[in-house]
Structure 1
Amino acid sequence: MTELGTTTATVLRATGPFNFACSLRAMESFAPCSGDQLVVDGRVRRAFLHPTDPTRAVVAEVVGRDDGVAVTVFSDDVLTPAQTAAVGDRVSDWLSLRDDRDTFLGLARADPAMAPILAVAEGLHQVRFASSPRAPSSTRSCITPSTGSPQRASAGSSPTTARTASSTGSPMPRSRRCPRSSRSVSRASSRMRATC
């Protein structure tokens, strides 16, 4: 098994308002993807395909900041700046960090019925399925906060597993693991250090 002992760090800015805690709550409450990432102590770990080698994987650990998120990428080898940027783009797309919600928020703020929702979720950016690495963001699937249901089925869906995400730290309780995985991430996962 390959150990993911190499780390690279980057910071991703978010278009405001942004509240990472809202994203974590959305991930924890959306059952179809509950095993695709590991959410613990205000951070999330998720496996992604390696940016240049689909037989390998990297694990991104994301922590909220006032201006966006800090990302630590665990890999089996040193990532180049371009590879780190590619992983950063995947994380940014997954968390919708660049989405400009000014028009939506303007309408929502003008609607008194939205006030209680905005009070708890104004900083929520849509958490998308992180399964289509090269598709433009307009064709990616995403979780709709109001309904909790997916929009736009994405071709070539490849959900990752919490087992992969937990391979760089404390094991995740078995009851929270998801049995689904793509072939590529599954192959890469089988070569990673197993802590389960």
Structure 2
Amino acid sequence: MTTEEHVVLVDRAGHALGTAPKTSVHGQETPLHLAFSSYVFDREGRVLLTRRADHKITWPGVWTNSCCGHPLPGEPLENAVVRRLSYELGLEVERVDLVLPTFAYRAVMANGIVEHELCPVYRVIVDASARPNPDEVGEVAWMPWKEFADGVQNGLLAISPWCREQVPLLVELGADPLAWPPAPAAELPPAARP
């Protein structure tokens, strides 16, 4: 018997308030909860983009960054990144670095469903091809980082709302994504600190 996955609810300062079933927190009154975003790069500095599976509740069929997800209660965010990349993309991770420890966003779909996440962002380096899980990912594509970032910032690429907000912040870290400085774990929200 499998138990339903729970997410960590947080206040605006990032303190844990408790947990809730994942299926209950994505609706028109979505509470702020802990999540992560990750950007996977190969050794040439290309970023792995994914198109969300067409049956996803939030932003189905939309292109986005490599992988997003929620840590399980008590699970370190870095471990959640590795777990979800393995599950969604069949990737073995070489390196995971925190780059935007305090990113948060709220976005509303046309049908009224809301995403509301405290969502630290990670850079991940891999040396392997992705094997997408069709339950999660409809399609993948590798793109040079500059081409992708320019396309997002110029409005030429249709992309998820959280990715649209993250890319300018990532660009501020420098032109070479493999050289972005890692952020200290101490800057993570309290609910996400190891």
Q: TM-score, normalised by structure 2?
A: 0.25
Give the number of the structure whose residues are more often helix, by fraction: 1
Rg comparison, structure with higher value: 1
Q: TM-score, normalised by structure 1?
A: 0.25
Give the number of the structure whose residues are more often strand, by fraction: 2
